[in-house]
Amino acid sequence: MHLLVTRPEPESEALAAGLRARGHEVTIAPLLSIRYLDGVSLPAREWQALLITSANGARALGRIADRYLKQVPLLAVGEASAAAARAEGFSNVRAAEGDVHALEALALRLLDPAKGPLFHAAGSVLAGDLKALLEARGFEVERLALYESEKQPLPRSVLEALRAGRIDGVLFFSPRTAGQFAALIAEAGLAASLAGVTAYCLSGAVAAPLKGLTFRAVHVAAEPSQSALTALISA
């Protein structure tokens, strides 16, 4: 198939390589670009644990963390985020099952509200309020935006490929990119061009912004992980 990958780089490059190895043609068109924020630093506290809800959060935290901080327990939302944290030098990493509620559950299982505050390395736009969830359970959580994401347009070549029916499937990893795609398709007047296109979505929340579009089919991964999403394509 000819697949369109909409997630930000560098995750899109690694994903595309895996899909090409399976024989697919892949076009990368990130609908969000990531910019790490300068001039931010973590308050000097005895953190019980660090929390990340994306691979970008891991990379942003890695830019400002010292060697001591990289030994503090770090809980990641999923395996991809955990891998990114390990690549940044964090040595005590545990992964949840792929969404903010799974990360909350992991924190409740491993951490204790009486043993110190938690730090959430976040982006400027949140997908779920982890801080509120954990504070309701008695934890002290400090959250700081370390990066921001900016919306990007679909390249002209991708619009032309959609119009000509040359794209078979589109991969979506976040509600924000799905919503951005829907808005760009409406703006370009290409809704009718999706009749032969299948959407592959990381979760039901990711699929929700696509409800107004007439895809050939919308498939949702069995669990919110990249492996589960790519399994949809293999199936």
Classify 14 as helix, strand or coil: helix
Query: Which of 96-100, 151-155, 202-206 is the most confident on average?
Result: 151-155
2-31+153-234 topology per CATH:
Rossmann fold (3.40.50)
pLDDT given for residue 213 in this prediction? 95
What does R_g of the chain's alpha carbons equal in angstroms?
Answer: 19
71-80, 84-93, 223-232: least confidently modelled range: 223-232
- Whether 2-31+153-234 shares its CATH topology with 34-149 is answered yes
pLDDT higher than threshold 80 for residue 116: yes
Classify 105 as helix, strand or coil: helix
User: Domain residues of the chain, as ranges?
Assistant: 2-31+153-234, 34-149
pLDDT given for residue 172 in this prediction? 96
pLDDT given for residue 194 in this prediction? 96
Q: How confident is the model at residue 188 (pLDDT cuts 50, 70, 90)?
A: very high
Task: Check: CB of residue 169 under 8 Å from CB of residue 15.
Answer: no
Classify residue 23 as left (phi > 0), alpha (psi -120 to 50) or beta: left
Q: What distance in Å separates the CA atoms of residue 144 and residue 65, rounded to the nearest whole number? A: 13
Q: How confident is the model at residue 125 (pLDDT cuts 50, 70, 90)?
A: confident
64-82 per-residue burial string, b: 16 or more CB within 10 A, e: under 16: bbeeebbebbbbbbbebbb
pLDDT given for residue 216 in this prediction? 96
Q: Give the residue from 119, 122, 121, 163 showing the smallest Cα distance to 141.
A: 119
Classify 26 as helix, strand or coil: strand
Q: Give the residue from 156, 217, 163 showing the smallest Cα distance to 192.
A: 163
pTM above 0.75, yes or no: yes
Q: Which CATH class is domain 34-149?
A: alpha beta
Q: What distance in Å separates the CA atoms of residue 207 and residue 172, rounded to the nearest whole number? A: 8
Q: Give the residue from 218, 176, 200, 230 showing the smallest Cα distance to 53.
A: 176
Task: Check: CB of residue 75 under 8 Å from CB of residue 103.
Answer: yes
Q: Give the residue from 49, 64, 191 showing the smallest Cα distance to 134.
A: 49
pLDDT given for residue 42 in this prediction? 87
Average pLDDT, the chain: 93
Tell me, what amino acid is at 157? S
Q: What distance in Å separates the CA atoms of residue 195 and residue 213, rounded to the nearest whole number? A: 9
- Peptide bond connecting 30 to the previous residue in cis, omega within 30 degrees of 0: no
Overall average pLDDT of the 6-26 stretch: 91
